[in-house]
Structures are given as structure tokens and as C-alpha cells.
Structure 1
Amino acid sequence: MPAERVHLVRHGEVFNPRRVLYGRLPGYSLSEAGRVMARQAADYIAALDRPVTALVASPLQRTRESAEPFTALFGLEPVIDERVIEPTNVFEGKRMVRALVNPWNWRHLRKPALPSWGEPYLDVVARMNQAMTEAWEAADGGDVVIVSHQLPIWITHLAVTGRSLRHDPRERRCALSSVTSLEMVDSKWTEVAYAEPASTAGAVDVGAV
């Protein structure tokens, strides 16, 4: 039988003292606070008292580390899925404030609806939907946890709720270690809950566009 619910969990805070847009760059691990956040997200899902039967994670270091508390609590090894990874963007390795004042970079901002600075939103929606649907169908009942990133989770939320994919990245409702929960109803994804169980006051959250 398929899953009952899919929880899209964002990773915890990343150690990023230079405050660059790390995107898919290697070597960005969770901070100590980020590890606490990841455990708080796992504790939140455990407190729902729902069986968790599958765990999926993006291949990036910060998501694999954020999946570790779920392994500890539920005894599940994460399935690594490239389809739930952070999108590409041309500003990787840069500080956004500095990048925006450089006229050479303005060409990357000409079509924000796509967006012109990285992977098209429609492509992100398609790969996330495929990954979620396959995980849903493959599960032996219970819930599926997918540890992913802010943009893939937020763009999925926009698509599921029928809103425009064009948006201001500064206004995303997808905090560090937040949990966005969905169910498949009449062959369509429906969002059923959103929670921010982690303590994120003072956190550095500037890693992606």
C-alpha cells in the first residue's frame, strides 16, 4: 500500500561564516546549532506518533547530516535521491549583496519568473513531484520523510497550492528545519500542515537563491 503522508524537511543551519550562497558547492556542513535544529525536526515528527517507513535525502552534505537524527529515531537509512537536490544558480560562491551591485550580474536577473539565474522553476517542480510520487508509491504504508532544501520545498508548496511560481526569495515560508507535510488526495498533492519546530533565532540563512 502507498504512504499516508510525505514530510518535506528542510536541512538545519549550515556553518557559513562568510555568508556566501553555497548552493551545490561541496564542503558545507551543518553548524552545531544546525545539528540541534535537525534533531528538533526529527523529534517533532516522532511526536506526531505516526509510523515513518521511508527516509529520502538530497546528496548534499547538509541534508545527509540533517537526516541523521531520523536514522537514529526511526532506524532508517536514507535513500539518496538527486531529484530533491538544491537547484543550480550562477551566484554560487558569491555574497549576494556584492553580486547584485555588480552590473555584470544584472543579466542574470532579467527573467525572474524562470528564474534566469538558475534552474527553471518548472524543472524543479517536475523532479520534486517525480521523487515524491515514487517515494509515496514505494512505501509500505506509514509516512515518508524527504530531507531537502528551501527552494525545492517552497516551489513545491507554490505548485501544490496553485500559486504563481514567480516569487521573492526573501519571502519564502520555509525556515531552517521546517516541516511541510503533504498527502495524495484524488491523485493530487495536498498540503496538510506546516511547522517550524526548530529554534532558529539568530541563525545564518543565506545559502541559496
Structure 2
Amino acid sequence: MAEKTIVHVMRHGEVHNPEQILYGRLPGYRLSDRGRGQAEAVAGWLAGNDITAVIASPLQRAQETAAPIAAAHGLTVTTDDELIESANVFEGKRVSPGDGALRDPRNWKHLRDPITPSWGEPYRQIAARMQGALDRARRAAAGHEAVVVSHQLPVETLRRVTTGKRLAHFPTHRKCNLASLTSFAYEGDVLVGWGYAEPAGR
């Protein structure tokens, strides 16, 4: 009988970002107090699980989110560079509706192709690297469970490609709230189910 493995793919907790910019891959963005509480809440929720691997994006917010989960299981956080946030030309700028970079006509050329998308890393590229990271996590925790900490768009893209959904989408349609878990269950190397949970609430 094939061994059963579960990989929980987690979005990091809330980030301290008083300037409200799109921080992307910029260094130095840590969890807020609320974000640390979210990470602790998820660590508590997973405390009784058979977790043998905790893997995170290299960015500070993901490492800080992974830390209490790893500590609860006596593990060290492993870094996988392929779990990093997606690249975006608006990184470091304000992009809220009615304010910032999106109002500047010089930036409109970046919005010409929402299918690829033209403003950042192609969805297919995100999907490929996240599938690779998911497979590495599954193999690392074969017969047990792993927790993988990444970022909203990479996690959403992974869910979409794994479940046969269209990769291009509206950001408001994402099923990936802060500190949420998108979990993939395997028998051997065959995906047999998936689920979504928000242990830290909304």
C-alpha cells in the first residue's frame, strides 16, 4: 500500500507595512504583532500533526511564520528559494486603488496583458517552480507531513495548477488569506485530495 503524505502550503502572516507599499521581494519586511500571533496560532493548530519537515521562502516574513511551527516539532526551518514571492514591476510602490503607481500613465503599459501577466513573473513560471517545491516537500516528508511557507500569489497559483483551474485570475478571487493552509494529500506520488483551512481566522 502506498504511503500517505500531506503537504500543508501556508501563506505567511500579516506583515508590518505602515507605508502600504507592494513590498514583493524587498528585504526587511517582518511580521506585525498580529502576524506573529497568526503564526503561533497555526503552530498550535498543527501541534499534534506528524510534521517532519518545515520549509520556507527565503524572505523574512516567511521565515518568521515558519519558525514557531518548526519549534513546536523540534525541527529546523529549511529554505527553498523557489518558494519566494513572485516578481512584480510595481515592487516598492503604492498600488492601492485610486492612489500611487496605477494612476501614472507611464505605468499603464505594464497592464496590457493580464493573462501572462505583463506586470510580473509569468503565471506558468510561478506554477512550475511551486510544483517543484511541492514535490521536494512531499519527498522530504514521505509518509508524514510537511509545512511549506510561501506567499499569496505563488500559493494561489499552485492551487490553481494542481486542481486544474485557470491560472489567470482576479486578485479578489484568491482563496489564500493570511496564515491560511492549502493542504495536498498524496498516496505515494499521486495526489488524492486537497483542502483549505484558516486556523488563525481572518
TM-score (normalizing by structure 1): 0.89
Confirm or deny: 8 A CA contact 2:25 2:91 kept in the other structure: yes
The offset of 1:123, in angstroms, is 0.6
Alignment of 1:35 with 2:36, yes or no, is yes
Letter in 2 for 1:94: K
Q: Mind listing any 5+ residue stretches in structure 1 that lack a counterpart?
A: 201-209
Shift of 1:135: 1.9
Amino acid at match of 2:62: T
Q: Distance in 1 between matches of 2:64 and 2:140?
A: 24
Distance 1:115 1:162, change over 3 A: same
Residue 128 of structure 1: which of 127, 130, 143 is its match?
A: 130
Aligned to 2:154: 152
Q: 1:152: how far off? A: 0.7
Change in 2 beyond 3 A, CA 1:75/1:94:
same
Which position in structure 1 is the counterpart of 2:103? 101
Structure 2, unmatched stretches of 5+, are none
- From the superposition, tell whether residues 77 and 199 of structure 1 become closer, same or farther in structure 2 (CA, over 3 Å): same
String of CA shifts for 1:78-110, please: whole Å, max 9, x gaps: 110001110110001111031111111111111
CA distance in 1, matches of 2:154, 2:191: 15
Q: Quick one: structure 1 residues 99 and 190, their matched pair in 2 at CA, closer, same or farther if it must change by over 3 Å?
A: farther
Please report the RMSD computed on the Cα atoms of aligned residues, expressed in angstroms.
1.7
Q: Displacement of 1:191 after TM fit?
A: 4.4
Q: How many equivalent residue pairs?
A: 198
- Structure 2 partner of 1:141: 143
User: Which residues of 2 match residues 9-24 of structure 1 at below 5 A?
Assistant: 9-24=10-25
Equivalent residue runs for 1:186-205 within 5 Å:
187-200=189-202
Q: What is the letter of the counterpart of residue 6 of structure 1?
A: V
Structure 1 residues 164 and 140: alpha-carbon distance in aligned structure 2, compared to 1, 3 A threshold: closer
8 Å CA contact retained: 2:5, 2:185 = yes
What percentage of aligned pairs have identical amino acids?
Answer: 48
Tell whether the 8 Å contact from 1:154 to 1:173 is kept in structure 2 after alignment: yes
Q: For each residue in 1:18-59, what CA deviation from the matched residue of structure 2 results, as whole angstroms up to 9, or x when unmatched?
A: 11000000110000110000111122222xx33001110000
Compare 140-149 and 6-15 and name the one that shifted more.
Answer: 140-149
